[in-house]
Amino acid sequence: MDCEFAIRLGMAIGTFMKGPVMIGTDARTSNDMLKLACASGLMAVGCNVTDCGIVPTPTLQYAVKNGKVAGGVVITASHNPPEFNGIKAIDKDGTEMARENEEEIERIYHERAFTPADWSRAGRLVVNTTSIDRYIGGVISKVDVASIRRARLRVAVDCGNGASSLVTPKLLERLGVQYVTLNADPNGAFPGHNSEPVPENTKDLVELVKAGGFDFGVVHDGDGDRTVFVDETGRYLYGDRSLAIVANYICSQKPGRLVVTNVASSSCIEDAVKMAGGRIMYTKVGSPTIARAMMQHGGIFGGEENGGLIFAEFQYCRDGAMAVAKMLEIVATKGKLSGLNDRIPAYCQCKKKTACPEERKQDVMKELAKDASGGRVDTTDGVKIYFEDGWVIVRPSGTEPIFRIFSESKSAERAERVAEEYKKRVEKLVKG
């Protein structure tokens, strides 16, 4: 990625959006270079640009949604290592761009079908530093502030030197929550740890919470759209657990509410939703798909096991700070996070993968779906086959010549056995 690429992609995005655009970045070292190049491209095709500075992705999405603009651009590589970067277009309603619109932008880019503006129509650049305060105000308006304040909670927060450093501590301050921070200064070298909120990057936070005195711990990814929680005993909660806890709470507030997640999510989410009288809907993997299904079918809450939680009442995108605020409300009103977690059934999971040439993938999936040994089959994304106390899903990787095999059961041995059985079955089908 270089600035010439960013200029041309900016021209393609601007040609597509045909109007004012907001731009923001996470905390990466190459951001200023890419942002100004991309903004130049946008202005070259006549778009006025508002530079929102370093902001979490959901902060920019909230600004776009409320800003009467044609769209947004965020320069971020999310949770990836420091040498990575990306340029991502945001739709005018603040959601992640639908795949077909991204493809149209790619077409404009590759065909150089830009619509350059002459000197009198070139876009202008303004800087706006108010988006973070507006966003925090928006988050606060969606939670029970009185209960949170009354509970006098204490939270340990690891911002991973990402964009959330500028938001989550301020949010906690404004909610009257006491907090201790780790890695809470934006730094694109990620000196604290890599920016994916996985267990190996969360050791310091877990130790801090274990030392005692916190209601829970929080860790964000680099661009602050994902949040993972550590309970008050220092236990790392995988994203499907926090998804289940929040889904259970939101569904318990009104019967019949709809929660949307992808077809590879743990059944603990469905269990938690049904325990609270709610309904579940499964989609293909990917947060834009989940967000759009929520919009279309009236889903109140949704997300995936990577810690990306979507709250329809706030905005239709993954939102790290909103997840923190909602979890504060839940713990303030329902009690300890460890207890909330223990109330939801747990499953054992097993993940495997096996090689398959691209051209064989479709045939293998067809054969798998046919030969499901009588179990219920779901082909929403890959092939999912249910058995007595669990399921197995076989999905082709979108980027590698492999199949991923993922199983879940109440028993660890059964999860392992079924995953191995389907791995062998795929290997046999690949050979033909």
Binding site for Mg ion (CB under 5 A): 78, 221, 223, 225
CA–CA gap between residue 186 and residue 158 (Å, rounded): 12
Compute the least distance from the CB of residue 158 to Mg ion, in Å: 15
- Closer by beta carbon to Mg ion, 221 or else 329: 221
Residue type, 255: P
CA–CA gap between residue 205 and residue 237 (Å, rounded): 12
- List the catalytic residue out of 30, 40, 78, 266: 78
Q: What is the CA radius of gyration of the chain?
A: 22
- Closer by beta carbon to Mg ion, 10 or else 162: 162
Compute the least distance from the CB of residue 432 to Mg ion, in Å: 39
- Closer by beta carbon to Mg ion, 215 or else 319: 319
**CA angle centred on 265, ends 363 and 144, rounded to 5°:** 150
Compute the least distance from the CB of residue 176 to Mg ion, in Å: 28
Task: Find the residue with minimal CB distance to Mg ion.
Answer: 78
- Closer by beta carbon to Mg ion, 15 or else 78: 78
Compute the least distance from the CB of residue 332 to Mg ion, in Å: 27
CA–CA gap between residue 233 and residue 250 (Å, rounded): 24
- Closer by beta carbon to Mg ion, 88 or else 423: 88
- Closer by beta carbon to Mg ion, 41 or else 302: 302
CA–CA gap between residue 331 and residue 166 (Å, rounded): 24
Compute the least distance from the CB of residue 303 to Mg ion, in Å: 12
- Closer by beta carbon to Mg ion, 26 or else 240: 26
30 catalytic residue (yes or no): no
List the one residue out of 186, 182, 226, 189 whose CA is nearest residue 78.
226
- Closer by beta carbon to Mg ion, 41 or else 188: 188
Compute the least distance from the CB of residue 185 to Mg ion, in Å: 19
Q: Name the token pair of 291.
A: 């967000």
Compute the least distance from the CB of residue 132 to Mg ion, in Å: 17
3-state secondary structure the chain: CCHHHHHHHHHHHHHHHCCCEEEEECCCCCHHHHHHHHHHHHHHCCCCEEEEEECCHHHHHHHHHHCCCCEEEEECCCCCCCCCCCEEEECCCCCECCHHHHHHHHHHHHHCCCCCCCHHHCCCEEECCCHHHHHHHHHHCCCCHHHHHHHCCEEEEECCCCHHHHCHHHHHHHCCCEEEEECCCCCCCCCCCCCCCCHHHCHHHHHHHHCCCCCEEEEECCCCCCEEEECCCCCEECHHHHHHHHHHHHHHCCCCCEEEEECCCCHHHHHHHHHCCCEEEEECCCHHHHHHHHHHHCCCEEECCCCCEEECCCEEEECHHHHHHHHHHHHHHHCCHHHHHHCCCCCEEEEEEEECCHHHHHHHHHHHHHCCCCCCEECCCCEEEEECCEEEEEEECCCCCEEEEEEEECCHHHHHHHHHHHHHHHHHHHHC
Compute the least distance from the CB of residue 224 to Mg ion, in Å: 7
Mind telling me the catalytic residues? Answer: 78
